[in-house]
Amino acid sequence: MVLPILKNRAIKKAMENAKASYIKAAEMSGVSRESRIFKSRIGGRCRVHLDKVFVEGAEYSEAYHEACLTAMSEGNEKPEMPSPKPFQTVKSNNETIYTYVPSEFAQEMYALGNLYQAAQISPTETLNMGQELADRVSFDLGLEEPFTALQFLRDELEDSESDAEDTDSDDAESDSSS
């Protein structure tokens, strides 16, 4: 019985520490090596956090849109979009770390994932809007260089484009040899 209580306290403490670390990084001034390293570490955690929130928004997109259609067909108001979790977990080499991003940033990234999955915005728009959001978080943290948001999506799109180019060049070669 005592174990779950201790586990819950540890999780709550880890979440408080994640939020405190974000706030500390945002309020840090100076250009010491230690502050740059700390801000960079928190920025990396924020990058992963936003990526996870984007994926979460994309995954819940279909269920949300079905709930909207059901509500409309029954004459009810459209339900509110679910909110992303304010904390995410990230697995490092040997531990699980809690991350925190202010809710306004997380909510925007969640909505972006939802819009992308519903094909309401193009992949290019998605990447641009995601990067604008990452730039704002980076600015909030005072990072020297903004982190890159949605790198997994960039890589996926590059792979699909190179696959399409390979297919086009194969088709061109087969046409010219005929």
User: What confidence tens digit (pLDDT) does each residue in 65-85 have?
Assistant: 888 888 888 888 888 878 888
Which of 120-124, 129-133, 143-147 is predicted most confidently?
Answer: 129-133
What pLDDT is recorded for position 32? 84
Q: Evaluate whether residue 72 is within a structural domain.
A: yes
Q: Evaluate whether residue 177 is within a structural domain.
A: no
What pLDDT is recorded for position 167? 66
d(CA 66, CA 60) in angstroms, rounded, equals 10
- Token digits of residue 76: 């009810």
Percent of the chain residues topping a pLDDT of 70: 88
Please write the tens of the pLDDT for every residue from 35-60.
889 999 999 999 999 999 999 999 88
Using 50, 70 and 90 to split pLDDT, how confident is the model at 131? very high
Judge contact between 146 and 135, C-beta under 8 A: yes
Q: Evaluate whether residue 42 is within a structural domain.
A: yes
With a CB cutoff of 8 Å and minimum separation 6, the contacts of 42 are 21, 22, 25, 141
Q: Evaluate whether residue 174 is within a structural domain.
A: no
Q: Evaluate whether residue 8 is within a structural domain.
A: yes
Q: Is 103 a residue whose pLDDT tops 80?
A: yes
* C-alpha separations of 166 from 1, 8, 52, 158 in Å: 60, 52, 31, 12
Q: Evaluate whether residue 38 is within a structural domain.
A: yes
Q: Is 138 a residue whose pLDDT tops 90?
A: yes
Q: Is 6 a residue whose pLDDT tops 80?
A: no
Q: Evaluate whether residue 66 is within a structural domain.
A: yes
What pLDDT is recorded for position 172? 54
Q: Is 174 a residue whose pLDDT tops 60?
A: no
Nearest CA to 25 among 42, 48, 12? Answer: 42
Q: Evaluate whether residue 128 is within a structural domain.
A: yes
Range of the domain at 37: 2-149
Count of domains forming the chain: 1
| Average pLDDT value for residue range 166-178 | 58
